[in-house]
Amino acid sequence: MGNFHRTGPVLLTGGLLAAGLLLSACERQPDSNAENQSPSANSTAAKANDWENPEIFQINKEPARATFYAYENRHLADKGTRENSRYFHSLNGEWKFNWVRKPGDRPMDFWKQGFDASNWGSIQVPSNWELQGHGIPHYVNIPYVFPADQPRIPHDYNPVGSYIKTLEIPDDWQDRQVFLHFGAVSSAMYLWVNGEKVGYSQGSKLPAEFNITRYVKPGDNKIAVEVYRWSDGSYLEDQDAWSLSGIDREVFAFSTPNTHIRDFTVTSDLDESYRNGDFALELDFAGSGSGTTPAELTVAVSDGDRVVFSESQTVEAGGDTRFQVAGEIEGVKPWSAETPDLYQLIIEARIGEDTQVIEQAIGFRNLKMENGQFLVNGVPVTIRGVNRHEHDPRTGKVLTRESMIRDIQLMKELNINAVRTSHYPNDPRWYELADQYGLYVLDEANIESHEYMEEGNKAARKDPSAREKYHLGYKPEWEAAHLARVANMVERDKNHPSVILWSLGNEAGIGPAFEKSSQWIRNNDPSRPVTYGGWGTVDGHSTLEYVDIYTPMYDFIPEMVDYAESNPGQPMIQAEYAHAMGNSIGNLQEYWDTIYHYPQLQGGFIWDWVDQTLFKTNAEGVEIMAYGGDFGESPRPDSDNFLANGVIQSDRTLNPHAWEIRKVYQPLKFEADKPQPLESGLEFTLWNRHDFLSADKFWIRWRLLENGRSIAEGAGPALETEAGEREKFQLRLPEYDRNPSAEYHLTIETLANEGTIPLLGRDHVVAWDQFQLHTPEQSAAAQQAKAKAKAKAKAKVSVKDGDHGLTVTGKNISVQFNKSNGQMVSYKIDGKELLIKGLTPNLWRAPIDNDAAWMLKDPTWKAATQEAQLVEFRHSADGSQSAVVNTLHQLGDQTAEFATEYRILGSGEIRVRAHFKPLKDGLPVLPRVGMNLVLKGEYKQLQWFGRGPHENYEDRKTGAAVGVYNAPVDSQYHDYSRPQETGNKTDVRWMSLTDGSGSGLRIEGEQLLSMSALPVLQSDLEHDRKSVRLHGAELRPKDLVSLNIDWKQMGVGGDNSWGARPLEKYQIPAASYSYGFRLIPQKSTVLAEHD
């Protein structure tokens, strides 16, 4: 046993728990004579239903407590499987079930003994009944699903589910206490046991526990539960998520001794040196009588097999008694998200003839605010976070442990270190896994009254006091409900080291209820800071005095800078930023350049982790990812696909922007102004942006690329850079024959050693950076091009000019133009047609979700692209070796002109020069400047030299390395929730499309190009979002290749999805632009010639 300093045990008796005191005003016992009528509230809302009375949110419910199970012996506790305990009985599985559309149609006496439910169906518990064929899911973002008329709920549409289950009570549960546990029920429930009303609960994301000892008997017992889809509690649950109902977390019964451990609170802090652990335990007993019972209590803390703390004491337990023990443990391993070192707490109580054993993983860590920063273990931490709704595409809010582990594994792979439980306490297993694998958790109370917040904020623009008329936090009858949700969350999750911050809720306005909730936390858990983003998304800074950290939403970078330079007393951690809706996450690098520049900007939580789409089979038998409105109309207008904002898709497939997050969030970075050859090698700097891990937990690998292909690789030096520090080092590359016409890149990676990152194996690539070493020497390149041109000059062309068309032919080629529209209509090599449609000007893109709020308001460039009129068509010969065709198109209503020059060589190569010129002032920014052509469907083998392998854009290419990549064209279409622009590649040097034999077309840029090759047309991607409900999976690959050859496409943006444009530097102003490229016929023997 390790050295430690101990303080003596303290026994407190007769005290009321803070949470119990808080809730006493709203607690009452059920009326046993009330039959099935909902009890009337003894309150200002007299005669109202409980589910329409904000002052009644629980009846006969047990006080909140930490998540734990007390086993009957140490052996079972070590195993940790509750199902092996004879005092645990799971009620998960099949229940008898009845569903009605409105409360007036519910079975009024189903809870009675003898009720015949033989004609009822069944339902799995846990589940959301809408996904089991009962009613439909609704998705409405800011407004409530139902008309806002708090606290009233519609009576003509408020589905009610009635559940029946038999609980078998063993004989050895007699003379003990028996409890029922409901992990989560949405949104309100009544409970009956054997025909007697037990109690009522609302609050859909925290447990409801009931003591049913006096209602049960040995043998079969009838459990009846009545669940209301909406209640007055729903006015506090206006989250941006599906409205789903039912018993959606686990249900179980358990039995305890009459005198038993009711709750415990662990404090596992660090001393000022951050080396020694300050351990304290408060243990609360409960008893069925007024007396006490001697209890032999042992408390131990172990590190693996080594006991580092132990205390034994005989105490008098019962009633409301609390036992306290504390001590110092020397030399502990601190817990952090990077170093999730856990200790095992063992609590063993022998109470008379009964034994209770609890085992709980604990972590020692210190949290504090200092100099306007948030510190973990004395270090200002960086929150590389994401918001996470609990969501599964098939089961809705019901998640498996395996799914949670998969989420954490993906987060680790993407360098995410923190999660905000938006916007409610998550399944308890999530916190256990976060403790184990290392994730910081911002735990958020299940409070959001978004519609009332919005209305109050609008009214306050004219009269600041008007906010009090709308925000529920100002209304006395709602105060206890707010406080209860906050307090119950804290009581449940208080023992988890992963929980480093509390949130009072989300977008629920302000008012005394929040101030009092914050004060309650500070009184009962002063170890953790409090946050709250109750203002929502507002202009300017909106700090709150009663919280510790400023957590705004969607602050633009200039706002962040302004805040950081104002000498703030609170650090900024954005509760939501980088709205990841559809094709998004532009300028994330700029966000993080700003964050790393200012000490009081400590990160943020991307919105959000997973697309909340649900699987649904459409009328054609295609399984789609459904969004709001796909299951039927809601009482108020559905919010379409605004819930598809994920880093990943609902089936856990990565959305392409996930790779940008992985790169920008990487905790190690290689730097060099410009690597210069030295006698000893190239010099770089490693910046270790970890908060705790040193660089010796990783190893370095480098790869040298010539024209995008690896020609050498090796291991770098072993570094020991401390967390937060920079270290210079040199790489010595092997000798290689440098090709003066080639381009060279060096990629440096850091890979994890075994055991460094939980869930990720050895050699996982944590970080990488790429450096351009040499660019082609233009003189050499020009000489090479000249030599090639001279060799090809022998191939001659002839021109045939007809009334309607122009044909240019050579030895093995034929190119035709339509003289009436100026379009190249045929391009044949060896008699084989390449084209479906020739090059046309393209200034538009299929709107991404971020475009919808602004770009669609002025579709000037869409019309310009669709309305191209030929103004001039002319051709000439450049000797006998090439023909030149010039076209000039007027676009739109004299909006712009687009001139194209085609220089056709006898080899079949076509050199294209394009010139765009606007003809009006005041034109909007351009989505793209480029051209589109459509190839025949056999040319679907894609290869390119540029950034990849995933799609990337001007403001989202940090995470895409330069290289040569191969992929099938069909894989280039990403099925976003709604079809939209996808598949782009930036900094493209060349791209080729070939068939199975290797013949096809190669495109080489005179400058870097922006390109994409898709199996669908741009017109397939675009649709009227107001009238057409199109889904990504509903587009099937066509027998074609739509090839975009652009000078540039504007960025995707992502500051928000309701009007924010890409940053100005990633926009394309309406101005004149020119660019060029070559179309080169490619045969299987030609590839090497053009590399």
Helix axes 428-437 and 476-493, enclosed angle (nearest 10) = 40
CB burial of 471-498 (b: ≥16 within 10 Å; e: otherwise) equals: bbbbbebbbbbbbbbbbbbbbbbbbbbb
What pLDDT was estimated at residue 448? 97
User: Residue 178: enclosing H or E segment and its boundaries?
Assistant: strand 177-182
Cα angle 105-109-111, degrees, rounded to a multiple of 5? 120
From the CB of residue 81, how many other CB atoms can be counted at a distance below 10 Å? 12
Helix, strand, coil percent content, the chain, rounded in steps of 5: 15, 40, 45
State pLDDT tens for residues 63-108: 999 999 999 999 999 999 999 999 999 999 999 999 999 999 999 9
How many residues are listed for the chain in this entry? 1091
Name the pTM for this structure. 0.94
Q: What domains can you pick out in the chain, each with its CATH number?
A: 4-14+259-367 (2.60.40.10), 31-60+91-256 (2.60.120.260), 383-611+646-663 (3.20.20.80), 667-776 (2.60.40.10), 780-1090 (2.70.98.10)
CA distance 402 to 399: 8
State pLDDT tens for residues 344-375: 999 999 999 999 999 999 999 999 999 999 99
CB 194, CB 178: distance < 8 Å: no
Cis peptide before 949 (omega within 30 of 0): yes
> DSSP readout, 845-877?
-PPPTTTTTTGGG--HHHHHHH-EEEEEEEEEE
CA distance 557 to 958: 18
CA distance 186 to 247: 6
108 Cβ contact list (under 8 Å, min separation 6) = 36
Which of 178, 142, 145 lies closest to 252 in space, CA to CA?
178
CA distance 154 to 137: 17
Q: Active-site positions?
A: 507, 576
Average pLDDT, 10 consecutive residues per value, the chain (1091 residues): 34 34 41 37 55 97 98 97 98 98 97 97 98 97 95 97 98 96 97 98 97 97 98 96 97 96 97 97 88 92 97 88 94 98 98 96 98 97 98 98 98 98 97 98 97 94 92 97 98 98 97 98 97 83 94 96 96 97 98 98 98 96 96 92 96 98 98 69 94 98 96 95 96 87 95 96 96 74 52 76 91 94 95 96 97 91 96 89 95 96 95 97 97 97 98 98 98 97 98 95 97 97 93 96 98 95 97 98 60 43
What pLDDT was estimated at residue 1088? 40
What pLDDT was estimated at residue 1087? 42
User: Residue 1073: enclosing H or E segment and its boundaries?
Assistant: strand 1073-1082
Residue 426 main-chain phi, psi, to 5 deg: -85, 175
Counting Cβ atoms within 10 Å, is residue 356 exposed (0-12), middle (13-18) or buried (19+)? buried
